[in-house]
Structures are given as C-alpha cells and as structure tokens.
Amino acid sequence: MATRIDKEACREAYNLVRDDNTEINWAAFKYEGHMIVPAGQGTDYEEFKSQCTDDVRLFGFVRITTGDAMSKRAKFTLITWIGENVSGLQRAKISTDKTLVKDIVQNFAKEFMISDARELEEDYIRTELKKAGGANYDAQGE
C-alpha cells in the first residue's frame, strides 16, 4: 500500500515552527501504518532527539538560531532519521516517502539523513547550517 500524508495536520505543525511569534522550534513527523502524521512539536531540541530511537524512522523540521550579537537569524533544517533497527525495506521506502514531506516542508537551508545519534547533536547541526549559510561573521572574533 502506498504511503500517504496527513497534509493539513503536518502543514499546521510546519507552520508553527516557521512562525516567529511562537517558541516552537521543532516538529516531528512519524509513520502510523501507511500514513505520515505529526509526532509532536516543542521548544526543546532534546525532546526531538528523544524521539529518534533505534527502531523508528521519522522526519524532523527544526529551527536553529544562528548568528552573533549583531545579527541573529533563524535557519531551518529537514532531518530524516532512520534508526539502526529499521528494516531494509523501510529504509529504501523512506527516500520516496520523503517527497510527500517535502511537498509541505519546503523552506530549509540544509537537509540531513541521519542514522547515527551523534550526528543529531545540536552543535553539529548548527555548525553544518552555518557552513550552508554563506558568510560567517562569528569567525571574525576568533
């Protein structure tokens, strides 16, 4: 059976992360059978990381604030998490299913496909987003 996505519910979660007037800085999207649905959202990146366990595959849309005292800006990333215990068939299917998510999650600076929890560290994600963001004025202070 083909995977489907709950477009309205997922779009609502995506918009909460994009909204500068909320504190929400992440939203996760998980599989319920053959349907991709919101798995939650929050203000603490560690909460998002806790959902990325060895037996799940999910998508995360995350806001990271970068910049320095002179210029702070929000950068967004799409994270595809594939736990170590996810079957080969489910691993293969996630690539095609990601197109459903990308129909909703359209604005992000960098995309990650991660199966190693160390790559989920917020500092690693922030560093990679800075690299993708062009000018890095933080380096002037070093």
Contact between residue 79 and residue 27 where contact means Cβ atoms under 8 Å apart: no
Domain boundaries, the chain: 4-133
CATH number of 4-133: 3.40.20.10
DSSP-derived secondary structure for 46-112: HHHHHH--TT-EEEEEEEEEEE-SS-EEEEEEEEEEE-TTS-HHHHHHHHHHHHHHHTT----SEEE
What is the distance between the alpha carbons of residues 76 and 14, in angstroms, rounded to a whole number?
A: 11
Contact between residue 52 and residue 82 where contact means Cβ atoms under 8 Å apart: no
What is the enclosing helix (H) or strand (E) of 23?
none
67: left (phi over 0), alpha (psi -120 to 50) or beta: left
Query: pLDDT at position 138, please?
Result: 53
Structural tokens at position 58? 């999910």
Q: Which residue has the tokens 């999910």?
A: 58
Q: Torsion angle of alpha carbons 28, 14, 63, 95, nearest 10°? A: 60
Per-residue pLDDT of the chain (142 residues; tens, 9 = 90+): 799 999 999 999 999 999 999 999 999 999 999 999 999 999 999 999 999 999 999 999 999 988 777 778 889 999 999 999 999 999 999 999 999 999 999 999 999 999 999 999 999 999 898 887 665 555 544 4
- Does the pTM of the predicted model rise above 0.85? yes
